[in-house]
Structure 1
Amino acid sequence: MTAAASDPPRIAQLSKYRIESMLGAGAMGIVYRAFDPVIERHVALKTVRHELFESGERHSLMARLRNEAQAAGRLAHPHIVAVYDYGETADTAWIAMELVSGQGLKPRLDAGRALELATALDWFAQLLAALGFAHEHGVVHRDIKPANLLVSAQGRLKVADFGVAHVESSTLTLSGAMIGTPSYMSPEQFTGDPVDGRSDLFSAAIVLYQMLTGCRPFAGASQAEVMRQVMHDTPRTPSACNPALPPACDDVLMRALSRRPDARYQTAHALWRALDDAMRGAQPAAPLATDDDRTLLEAQPMTPAAPLASGTGSWRGDSLPSLTMWPGAMLAPVETRLAAQIGPVARLLVRRAAARIADAPDLSALIALLAPHIPSDKGRAEFIAAFADGSGAGTSRGPTLCSSLDAQEVQAAALRLAAYLGPIANIVAKREASRAASLRVLHERLAAAISNEADRARFERDVGL
């Protein structure tokens, strides 16, 4: 859950957790910011409302909360909010989960404006990576919507709230019930038919449609009207709502929003591959001096004064003066390898990342900024490994060592760590390398620098601890 403290807490302690503030309240319960004194970390503590707990719904509420803990607890993934603990008391039940520093996607989309194409595709790739992982582990979320999608301060999207998820081994019986949020529900959810991962992909396609156009494809004034539209109407094509979009998006999204599950993309990977292929086909043959949303009023030659958009960090223009610090031979192979993983949007992402650290061009820092954009674990590992020794971009800028460790091994470890810590990983690796007597000790020290348990476990697995 997102860390955005608001009202004072109504309770001071729950089990071992010290309550610090209230993050938010919903129909089912209250979410608190809390502190675990045993391992000294902050968590989001999700509880059931006391009045609901006492209203005769105790059994079903506890079953739903346990279901969320069971569903999310079995999914250790960088784009899924981690669940740490579950407990019950005489008058409530609670889940301790990862505290995400950032904000929800819903406020951004409620503004009714389309997101930048690169941002929307980046977050959608991360959403599909999370859903693909969940589906492979027998979990269907069943309530994918912007309110359940959190964006961390580092720009990483995380899926939250598995309270109505279906788990293959779950004892929570919801057969025939209409579960979900109407504007994002699949047709089979409205009819109460059995759902599988294709239902989540339908909901995810609605989220992408909204990110790209600023509006929802099904937006009736009542639940009944929304249901009628989902069951019978064909929404407008995305490019009809936002002419700046490449028409190649239309076919992919309209298929993803098919009423029949067997007419949709059958897996998260298949949906992303289709969208990636469509965007590759939409890539112009020659570079265009235009911005992220493809709005070009008049083609002007770029001048040395061309700025970055203030406060956004987003790239404007094809030839920023700050990029002149980067050797051309360094950026080209990075873009090529990233494009092989995520498609033509790689060109924009590479230049945006390069501009962010243009004052001190560093290959390792650049790879650290780009690696999280790759949704596939295997693809991300291959991308990092390609530049582990600096040869992938024609240069080596690894940390300077004052130890007996091999420089290339340390740089490889720093790049792996960068997927979780960002560019600061180089500093951490350099510092710990000077203190480590062996590569294994270095890996252990670097793992300890990762605060998120799930991420730390993935790093340890990656380096063979």
Structure 2
Amino acid sequence: MTGAAMDPPRITHLGKYRIEAMLGAGAMGVVYRAFDPHIERHVALKTVRHDLFDGGERASLLARLRNEAQAGGRLAHPNIVGVYDYGETADTAFIAMELVNGQGLKQLLDAGRPLALATAVDWFGQLLAALGFAHAHGVVHRDIKPANLLVSEQGRLKVADFGVAHVESSTLTLAGAMIGTPCYMSPEQFTGESVDGRSDLFSAAIVLYQMLTGCRPFTGASQAEVMRQVMHETPRAPSACNPALTPALDDVLMRALARRPDARFQTAADFQRALDHAPVPADDRTILEARTVSPDGPLASGSGAWRGDSLPSLTMWPAAMLASVEMQLAGQIGPVARLLVRRAAAPIAGAPDLPALVALLAPHVPSDKGRALFVAAFEEGSRAGTTHGAATSLDASRFPSLGVEEVQAAASKLAVYLGPIANIVAKREASRSGSLEALHERLAAAISNEHDRSRFRRDVGL
């Protein structure tokens, strides 16, 4: 359990454990940070108070707590929260478990935006390692979801809360009950069928989908609607939500989310192998470079070509328009804008639609204010959002020695390092420069960070 304290504890001791702070509270009871004086280590104590529930509920909850202790106690793995002890007092039952200093994955995903691809793949690999170990030891978690996944300060993901886990030879039965959390449940959990490790892998795939796209594949206003989607609908390909993702990743996730268990990956190792063999986009700085503008003159509308042969052609898009969109987006999210604009524009390349492109890209801007600024830049009447895009936002008479497209391309590259102010700086320095090389030198001098300045100089060929 995570180690961020909420409120002062109401009790001072529980069994041998000295209570130090309250970590959280839920329907079952309270989780405390505590100290074990016998071996001198801090632990998290998950408790169930007898007097809060009637006899039937109390028996079920105590059985669930014991089940969690049994499941966690047999799983010693670096990616599973360790369970150390189970105990009962006159009015409380508790388990002592590993105290994880970090935060829950749910808190990271609640922002509604994708995680960095490398981070998502790394954490998911750790989740698969934990599930593979649990399944090999006869334990099916049955409630994999972000709220049950913790990330330590060192970046290690840990699986928690085996309260509803199925343990081979366990006496815990919840006949007729749907066990799990609806948005993350497998089809067989909804229908009450027996579950095995493939159900955990289905739930894990939903978590990966959310990490990569910022949204869940199955959503609805009610449990019934979520169940209908899980049972009867195929979710959107992840790349439809996040254009930075590859078709290979789409294929892996779509297989992992198959309705029939025998159509999915059969083991966590199978799932991991498929991910290992799926090409994923590397850092966009090594995949794409901004389009190169001929010094002979500005590109005509529709003739823009970006470097990156593995990516689709966007010859129907006005080059200046894409450059303007990239510049505005880069000012909010940095260099990944190059890749995102390209991938978002590709599906509608046959009929370029600027509002549609902006709508596809806006969810990638993390802050509400930044997202609003990005969208506003392309609203009707905005000079940056017209068909001619950035070409009309610059006055060619101010820098007669340079082409408008050349200045806009330089501003686009500068925006990666300076943000939205790059357009102003580029226009100012262009009026003082007699050549493209001189402009690039002036723009490089405007970047205060030496490392960023070197990268910019490399980007523009200095």
TM-score under structure 2 length normalisation: 0.63
Instruction: Provide the rounded CA distance (Å) in 2 between the counterparts of 1:120 and 1:277.
Output: 16
Q: Per the alignment, do residues 142 and 295 of structure 1 end up closer, same or farther by CA in structure 2, a change over 3 Å counting?
A: farther
Q: Which entry has the higher C-alpha Rg, 1 or 2?
A: 2
Please list, as runs of the form range in 1=range in 2, the aligned pairs for 1:257-268 lying within 5 A after superposition: 257-268=257-268
Deviation at 1:175, TM superposition (A): 3.7
**1:305 deviation in Å?**
2.4
Shift of 1:59: 1.9
The aligned residue for residue 177 of structure 1 is 177
Tell me if the contact between 1:145 and 1:181 (Cα under 8 Å) persists in the aligned partners. Answer: yes
Matching of residue 202 in structure 1 with residue 202 in structure 2 = yes
For residues 101 and 239 of structure 2, the distance between their equivalents in structure 1, rounded to whole angstroms, comes to: 33
For residue 129 of structure 1, what is the aligned residue in structure 2? 129
Q: CA contact under 8 A between 2:51 and 2:91: conserved in structure 1?
A: no
Superposed CA deviations along residues 229-267 of structure 1, whole A, max 9, x for unmatched, are: 111111111000111112221011011001110000000
TM-fit CA distance, 1:29: 1.6
- Aligned partner of 2:17 in structure 1 is 17
* Counterpart for residue 232 of structure 1: 232
How many residue pairs end up in the alignment? Answer: 312
State the TM-score, normalizing by the size of structure 1.
0.63
Cα separation, 2, equivalents of 1:241 and 1:98: 36
Check if 1:67 corresponds to 2:47.
no
* Counterpart code for 1:113: R
Partner SS for 1:23 = strand
Alignment of 1:65-214 (within 5 A): 65-214=65-214
Distance 1:60 1:31 in 2: 19
**Structure 2 SS opposite 1:70:** helix
2:245 aligned partner: 245
Does residue 1:305 correspond to 2:450, yes or no? yes
Q: Which residue type is aligned with residue 191 of structure 1?
A: T
Consecutive unaligned residues in structure 2, runs of 5 or more: 290-333, 342-411, 418-443
In 2, Cα distance between equivalents of 1:214 and 1:58: 37
TM superposition shift of 1:8: 1.4
* Residues in 2 aligned to 1:241 and 1:49: alpha-carbon distance in whole angstroms: 44
Identity %: 77
Cα distance in 2 between the residues matched to 1:284 and 1:5: 37
Q: In structure 2, how many angstroms separate the alpha carbons of the residues matched to 1:144 and 1:243?
A: 26
SS of corresponding position for 1:158: strand
Residue 48 (1) aligns with residue 48 (2): yes
Paired residue secondary structure (1:96): strand
Cα distance, 1:284–1:117 mapped onto 2, change above 3 Å: closer
Instruction: Write the mapping of 1:428-443 to structure 2, written as runs, cut at 5 A.
Output: none
| Per-residue deviation, 1:144 | 0.3
Tell me the secondary structure at the aligned position of residue 20 of structure 1: strand
DSSP-derived class of the 1:21 partner: strand
Once the two structures are superposed, what CA deviation does each residue of 1:430-455 show, in whole Å capped at 9, x if it has no partner? xxxxxxxxxxxxxxxxxxxxxxxxxx
Trace 1:342-353 onto structure 2 (pairs within 5 A).
none
Asked if the contact 1:213/1:242 (under 8 Å) is kept, the reply is: yes
Residue 175 of structure 1 contacts residue 194 of structure 1 at CA under 8 Å; is this kept in 2? Answer: no
Q: In 1, Cα distance between the equivalents of 2:120 and 2:7?
A: 32
Contact 1:199–1:261 at 8 Å: present in 2 too? Answer: yes
Per-residue CA deviation, residues 355-393 of structure 1 (Å, 9 max, x unaligned), is: xxxxxxxxxxxxxxxxxxxxxxxxxxxxxxxxxxxxxxx
1:179-210 CA-partner distances (Å, limit 9, x unpaired): 00000000000111000000000000000000
Quote the offset at 1:306 in angstroms.
Answer: 3.2
* RMSD between aligned residues: 2.7
